[in-house]
Chains A and B, each alone.
Chain A
């Protein structure tokens, strides 16, 4: 009996070992997770470092790297130093595809972080097939609402409040504050614009004149045709929901023509430093324009996150002027650091994504609106605050500070709320 029992036991033991062996081949152990070693984790980012979108956007990745350098100087995360490989995609979808493939295949990165631009992210997800490969793409720098579709983009986590949310919130604002005025809209004729139109429709706002432009065609000459249409239609309030070069072209041409509507700019298209560096249009022309944001203004040194990131910028990003792009880069990096910390010492791609789903809504970050990550939601920030530009290009709250509006990308209500942002963690490090 004993012999028989022992034999069975041995057989069972070898079966367990064999099964364990199989399990090991299908579930990678820590050592085999791409980009992760006992003392490092390698991440990749594609951004326009050169090309037409480089002014402004080229600051995002170095800013993220500066924050990671700061984290590394303070011991890293769970004993791992963060390496960030930066690839220049020139804001071209095909270049983003090539560079993302390189990050995954050549550099063996653990995750893509902060990839910038709606078209680039769409191209990468359809041609590099991040979802099928299980490669996380964290906190992309775009507000396209479609990226919150977990079924279609299973490894992608948006961060920005969406364009649809922005349009709905601002649509409500327009209805409440500009009733009876003639309203015009200049909007990009792509998914960015589709998101905006969806939000405006949800808000029930109607425009007296809608002008669509194709991204890449904006110029002073094109803007002149817009202004002529707006003037002819006697438009008093113009909402420009486009990119910064479109904003610059429109306000520049309008100023020359003596056309002075109440401008409202989408959050994407009114970065003062980009206007300053990439165009010949004076920032002062933004003065009095209304816009929305989910982040504190980069010039607001009373904000503890802004103050902290400015210090990091001084020490680890030497010679770079702190602006909204630097703030966005560092804030995205802080979110990544939070996620890596939350995933625990046994760092896996699946674990990382699960950590964001379970804990991401409480991650501390500079955003002034709540995060909405959960097991069923990939939505990041969920709202905006509304402000007015001053003559130096700073966006100052129209209402009391910290009053934000939250909503969704569908037909949900816009709710005015006093947001309580998580406090800056000790030393600005993930806890």
Chain B
């Protein structure tokens, strides 16, 4: 498979086929749309990250002395909204998924390329609305919009933020729709379901959740907006409405949403580990089925966010039981990934370092989920920093590390360039250290009783907060580095061969970067997935010293 390295500029590929802003803004090429998304979500990650840094700065001291309390309340609200709806939910599916799903199944594009472009525009429009809401006063309801505070008491841009998320939701739904139809109908000849890459299985499961869950958030936000704007009284207790109904409707989407955020990441890890261990995944069908199991069970556990909300004891018990059931498929994945490394031939390039980090941090985050699902214990730790630490371990330690691992893994394919390996490893290490220092103290903070969303706090909580803030500055550096060196590599990076890692998968059979129509001829698949016994590590693959 080793090919002579042809300088990127000489071959026609999706990047140099056409130049000009119009060719990008009106493109229907899934690969270009993936890059448009990359720019958008990176921008919003930056914004959400700045909010996070301001939050951590305020929390350096017990008193509220950096910003006013209303400002602080807006900061954590908008940090959550921007990070969840404009970074995490799109991230892997819209960037890596858009780029890779057609290539991995041997197709020329997604089923509905124009709809794909529309998805991106919807996200951009939603983003503009959100930025406008932020710039003209912000929102201070918490990303969870609990009523009646959001409907009858908040004086901020609730309607605009709600509508912005409504529009972003449609972006998500359409992407999911596109993926499901594509995976069902456009697989190359010979590519049966049991030969699909696990990345595809993960995105298939994610897309089902996007399709079925997001509309419920949409209608819930619509009802909140209508109540605020037109005085309907559906959630207003002074008119017979029930605030808990809002919570049920909201969490019915927002719990599956966390699986939208983690499943794609798991799909990335399932591609990286076999490649860098040179082994077929251990338990392929179990990993594939566990993705579907998580998608299904994920819809049944929403009220574990409401154990102290005033629900009946018996309802709480059912949701606790189901929450433990949904933990099993995730555990299965971790065990299978670990077993994949057994008797492998392991290389430690940057993607693999991120995979190691993912397994470690996701395991810790997932285990702390067991704490929260335990009813009697949840009463004490819910609504405290324990929960904040738990979900950041999964979403940042898990999903973001998976995203970064995937970006490094497929960067050569996407850009035709290699990123600088030493910097990649350094950044991975910095992210890992910074992350743990930021969020581990928060577990302790939560158990000793510091509630979340607190602008000021009793002085005995200060030491742990200072540790956390220190960690966040390190984490920020770790995130900035890839932004810099990926950009650098686009001009100065070593040109990449078609398959620098010796990876399996149809996408690696095409050029780096690929031509617009992905393949010169539609591949015909006659082999089982992950034939790592037969693929050699190419000579020019970067090896560790």
A, B in one complex: no
User: Which residues of B are at the interface with A, using a C-beta cutoff of 8 A?
Assistant: none
